[in-house]
Amino acid sequence: MKLIIAVIQDEDANKVSNDLRNRNFGLTKLASTGGFLSSGNTTLLIGVEEERVDSALEIIKESCKTRKKITTDSIPSTYTAASGYIPRTIEVLVGGATIFVVDVDKFEKM
């Protein structure tokens, strides 16, 4: 048994969850926050038999898009007497999905 931990964008969460559920994957959806952008994302926990891991990853890959997000640099780069420090905007590419696949020692439902 494996546990897939998938960090995905909120915009993709409903479609991915529905597609996984329709293919009989069990999942738990967690609201999470990215450490860099400090904005909301979604983390899916998917417990799955080893032989179905690739099929789950395929579904995630199909639905998760890469998007550009604009954020401000944490260290202001420009100082002007009139406005003080002006934060520098930077563009980052987020996603499709950040995936971890880990071994599950034991899986029980009680």
Give percent helix, percent strand, percent coil of the chain, each to the nearest 5.
25, 45, 35
Residue 32, judged by CB atoms within 10 A of its CB (0-12, 13-18, 19+), counts as middle
Nearer to ligand 2BA, 33 or 49 (CB): 33
Binding segment toward ligand 2BA, per CB under 6 A, in 10-18, 29-37, 55-63, 75-83: 29-37
Contacting residue, 19, 29, 98, 101, with ligand 2BA by CB under 6 A: 98
Q: How far is the CB of 41 from ligand 2BA (least distance, A)?
A: 5
